[in-house]
Copies of this chain bind each other. A is one copy, B any other.
Amino acid sequence: MKKAHIITIGNELLIGDTVNTNASWIGSKLTESGFSVDKMISIPDDYTPIIEEISDSLQKADLTIVTGGLGPTHDDITKKAVADIFDSELVENEAVLNHVKEIFETRGFIFSRSNREQALVPECCEVLFNSQGTAPGMWFERNGHYLAVLPGVPYEMKHLMDKQVSKKVEEYIQDLDTNIIEYFRTAGIPESTLSDKVGDLDQFTSNGVRVAFLPNPSGVTIRISANSEDKLVQLREMLQDRAGKYIYGKGKNLRLAEVLGELLIEKNMTIATAESCTGGLLSNEITDIPGSSRYMLGGVVAYSNDVKKNLLSVSQNSLEQYGAVSKKVALEMAKGVAEYVGADIGVSSTGIAGPSGGTEEKPVGMVWMGFWINGEHFALRSVFTNDRLINKERTVMVILESVRRRLLGVDSLPYELKPQQT
C-alpha cells in the first residue's frame, strides 16, 4: 500500500489550545483514497523541526501532507523552510498576487508588504490555487515522493484537499489500493448487545475484510472496510439481516435527527417537544437539520413547575403526588405539547440531569421520557450516568430513536426499554 504522513505545524497544537481536527480529517480522506496513513506528527513553528520532519517524511512516505504556518505573520515560517528543503528561491506568483489583492479590495482592507509576501512561492513547486484565502497551497515532488503544503485554516485546507490535492494525487500517484469504508449508525443499543445480535464474524472477515465497533455517547457505529466492493456484499447483507432494525442509516456524519426528519416528511407528520432535563437540546438537535421547519412545529422548555402547568397543562395533582420526575408528568408533558401546538407527535423529558439533586428513589441520571404518537401514549424510564451533559445527550438520542422505531413498527425500543402506559 502507498504510505502517507500528515505533518501539522503550529504552537497552538502543542500547547493544547487547539484540538487537531485537521489531522483526523485528512487521515480520513487519505484512507478513503487508498493510502495507509502511517504517521501523524505535530511540531511547533520552528525552523529545525520543520526541516527535519518534512525531509524525513519525504523519504519514507509516498505522500506527505503538511498544514499550518503559511500566514502573513513572522512566526509563520513553513514556506521558507520548505523552500530551503528543495533549495529553491521564493518567487512572486502573479496569479496569486492578483487574487490576494482582489480579496483585500473586496473586504476594504489595506494591502501591505506582509500581504504581498503571501504571493511568494518556491520556484520549484506547482501552486495549488486557494480561492478561499490568501495563502496558496503548494505541491512538490522528489524522487517519486510527493508533498502538499496547505494552510492550517480548516475550511481552506479542506477546500484545497478536495479540489486540488485530489487531482494531483490522481495525476501523479498510481496503483493506489481501493479502500472501501462504510459506517452503519445505531443508537440506543449498547456495544455488547449489538455485538451479540451481529454474532460471529469470522466467516466474513477473511480476505482483508475488517469490522470495528465504535462506541460513543450518541450511539455505536459499525465500520466495515475491504479492498474491493464485492468483498463487502455478503457482510453488508448479514448486518442488515441480523441488526438492520437497529441501524438508522449509513454514513460517518449522518445524524439521527436527519433520518427521523426524512421519515416525518415521508409520513407527512409533525412533531413538538416538551423538555425539562434536556433543557432544549432535543429541539436543538431536531432544528440543526436544514429544512426541519417542515415537520418541527415548536416546543417548550419547562424547567419550572409553573411552566409545566401553564404551558403544558401538567396537573398540579400529578406534580404533587408523583413529583416532576415521574411517569405521570412525562406522559402529560408529551400529550400537552402535542395538543397545545397541534402536532401529530409530542415527546418529553423529565429527569435528574445532575451532577447533584438526586435521591435514593430518584438518583442522578434517572430520566422519564414521554411519547404521544398519533394517540399512542407511553413513557420510558432509564438511568444514565452522573455526567450532566452525557445524560442530556443520551436522553435526546433515546427519544429520537424511540420515535423512529415506533414509526417504522420496529418491535423493540432503545436498550430494550419497556413502554409504560398511563
Q: Count chain A residues whose beta carbon lies closer than 8 angstroms to a beta carbon of B.
A: 71
- State in angstroms the CA–CA spacing of A332 and B31 once bound together: 52
- Are A303 and B287 touching (Cβ within 8 A)? yes
- State in angstroms the CA–CA spacing of A181 and B11 once bound together: 14
A16/B25 contact (C-beta < 8 A), A283-B279, A284-B280, A287-B301 known:
yes
Residue A13 at the chain B interface, CB threshold 8 Å: yes
- Are B44 and A38 touching (Cβ within 8 A)? yes
Minimum C-beta distance from A397 to chain B (A):
14
Residue A131 at the chain B interface, CB threshold 8 Å: no
Minimum C-beta distance from A66 to chain B (A):
15
User: Which A residues, 206 to 247, have Cβ-Cβ distances below 8 Å to chain B?
Assistant: 212, 214, 223
A40/B13 contact (C-beta < 8 A), A284-B281, A297-B304, A300-B298 known:
yes
Residue in B38, B279, B293 whose CB lies within 8 Å of A284: B279
- Are A296 and B287 touching (Cβ within 8 A)? no
- Are B301 and A280 touching (Cβ within 8 A)? yes
Chain B hits for A18, CB < 8 A: 24
A287/B298 contact (C-beta < 8 A), A21-B19, A28-B16, A311-B311 known:
no
Residue in B17, B297, B392 whose CB lies within 8 Å of A303: B297
Chain B hits for A41, CB < 8 A: 39-42
Residue in B306, B341, B342 whose CB lies within 8 Å of A341: B306
- Are A13 and B38 touching (Cβ within 8 A)? no
Residue in B13, B301, B304 whose CB lies within 8 Å of A283: B301
Copies in the complex: 2
Chain B hits for A287, CB < 8 A: 279-280, 301, 303, 353, 392
- Are A14 and B42 touching (Cβ within 8 A)? no
Chain B hits for A284, CB < 8 A: 278-281, 284, 392
A290/B355 contact (C-beta < 8 A), A38-B49, A43-B39 known:
yes
A16/B38 contact (C-beta < 8 A), A284-B280, A287-B303, A307-B298 known:
no
Residue A143 at the chain B interface, CB threshold 8 Å: no
- State in angstroms the CA–CA spacing of A310 and B299 once bound together: 12
Chain B hits for A19, CB < 8 A: 19-21, 24
Binding site for B on A (CB under 8 A): 12-21, 23-29, 31, 37-44, 49, 181, 212, 214, 223, 252, 273, 275, 278-288, 290, 292-293, 296-304, 306-307, 310-311, 340-342, 353-356, 388-389, 392
The 5 A-B residue pairs with the shortest CB-CB distance in the complex, in nearest-first order = A279-B287, A16-B28, A280-B283, A16-B27, A298-B307
Given contact pairs A13-B27, A290-B355, enumerate 15 new A-B contacts (beta carbons under 8 Å). Answer: A14-B37, A14-B40, A16-B24, A17-B212, A38-B44, A275-B280, A279-B283, A279-B287, A280-B284, A280-B301, A293-B304, A297-B303, A300-B301, A306-B341, A311-B311
A-B pairs with beta carbons under 8 Å apart, 12 shown? A16-B23, A39-B43, A280-B281, A280-B299, A284-B392, A287-B303, A290-B356, A293-B304, A297-B304, A298-B303, A304-B341, A307-B341
